[in-house]
Amino acid sequence: MLEKLESLEEKYEELTGLLSQAEVISDQSKLQKFAKAHSDLSEIVDIYRQYKSVLKQSTDSKQMMQEEQDEDFRQMLVEEIQVLQEKKTSLEQNLKVLLLPKDPNDEKSVIMEIRAGTGGDEAALFAGDLFRMYSRYAEQQGWRIEIMDTHYTDIGGIKEMIFVIDGQGAYSKMKYESGVHRVQRIPSTESGGRIHTSAATVAVLPEAEEVEVEIDPNELRIDVYCSSGPGGQSVNTTQSAVRIIHIPTGVVVTCQDEKSQHKNKAKALRVLRARLKELSEKEMNAEMAGARKSQVGSGDRSERIRTYNFPQGRVSDHRINLTLHKLDYILEGQMDELISALTSHYQAELMKKVD
């Protein structure tokens, strides 16, 4: 590990020197490339330097303790060495995490899809709750949300919603949300006070750049039609809604949220590009395909990754056996504790594989 860290620090120093050279400063392409590489290394190099400093302080303190005769001062050195050891352990853990293989999608924005599953109107209302939760969380992170396509029920629930969360690092935090989310509560329409169980599915796709996924216009079938509102009501007499079918794969994307046909087409292409990227990655990695299938499933209440239990005010993530009695806070977008626990769990799993 130390050899790797030394190599990264040398690379960082080299980039620092390059960024001050006139020929690099005058070349925007090189400048951006080197600046990004320099920025990517800055955190791990900073922590490595702290780590080296702690090692030196610890060595010096141990040396002083061997030479020191005063018992009070020796005791002070013992306590200092203990504190330094704790810092060393913490910094080592941080360095191991930072050295883990990076998910190339982590810094990307995401396209999220929420669909009502088992439970009828109650499932659709819960899908709306999930969208609100993610919207609040995105707002707290300083990310921007853009709705791509929405299909509402007559009572205001969501049959299906596709939206973009636009912000650096969005995928790194939202990728663990893919799967079936189950809710247990008394619906507002339930006169007998019985608890119902419903479900909604969430899919999280990293947004694909145009250079990553090339789409041949000749392989697309594009239909336009009038957009509709809740319950199929027509809300637009012009043909602004767009349906795009990618003929080779059969992937279908629709978008009707904008009044402009051109804007809806542009949004639909963004979603299509993300879905085609996902298909391509599935073909290259069958193991990933199996994992995602088990996460998203069919929307049945038994295929769950998380349960939101209203009577007990708790949220349980079944993948990591974590239960938080903070339902109201989480639904208001206070998801940091939940997402941090998931991130730590999967980082630990990855470290086991690397070791």
Residue 261's pLDDT is: 84
* Contacts of residue 190, Cβ cutoff 8 Å, sequence gap at least 6: 196
Is 241 contained in some domain?
no
251-255: strand order across its sheet: 220-225, 241-246, 251-255
From the CB of residue 157, how many other CB atoms can be counted at a distance below 10 Å? 21
Average pLDDT over residues 144-156: 87
Q: Which two structure tokens, joined as six digits, stand for 268?
A: 């639909």
pLDDT (0 to 100) of residue 224 = 84
Residues 339 and 292 in one domain: yes
290-309: pLDDT as tens digits: 444 444 443 443 458 999 99
CATH number at residue 149: 3.30.70.1660
Number of domains observed in the structure of the chain: 2
Share of the chain above pLDDT 90, in %: 35
Express each pLDDT in 5-43 by its tens digit.
888 888 888 899 888 898 888 888 888 888 888 988 888
DSSP per residue, 268-304 = HHHHHHHHHHHHHHHHH-HHHHHHHHHHHTTS-TTS-
With respect to residue 79, please indicate whether it lies within any of the assigned structural domains: yes
**Same domain (yes/no): 118, 205:** yes
- Antiparallel, parallel or unpaired: β 110-116 and 196-206: antiparallel
250 Rama sector, left if φ>0, alpha if ψ -120 to 50, beta otherwise: left
- Minimal CA–CA distance to 176: which of 286, 98, 277, 291? 291
Q: Does residue 118 belong to any structural domain of this protein?
A: yes
Label residue 131 by pLDDT band (50, 70, 90). Answer: very high
- Decide which of 67, 98, 129 is a domain's last residue: 98
Print the domain residue range for 78. 2-98
HEC secondary structure over 85-149: HHHHHHHHHHHHHHCCCCCCCCCCCEEEEEEECCCHHHHHHHHHHHHHHHHHHHHHHCCEEEEEE
pTM above 0.75, yes or no: no
For residue 234, the model assigns a pLDDT of: 47
293 and 343 belong to one structural domain: yes
Distance CA 172, CA 343 (A): 9
Together in a domain, 187 and 329 = yes
Cα distance between residue 300 and residue 308, in whole Å: 15
Residue 217 has pLDDT above 90, yes or no: no
Do 153 and 67 belong together in one domain?
A: no
Could you tell me the two tokens for 282?
A: 């599935």
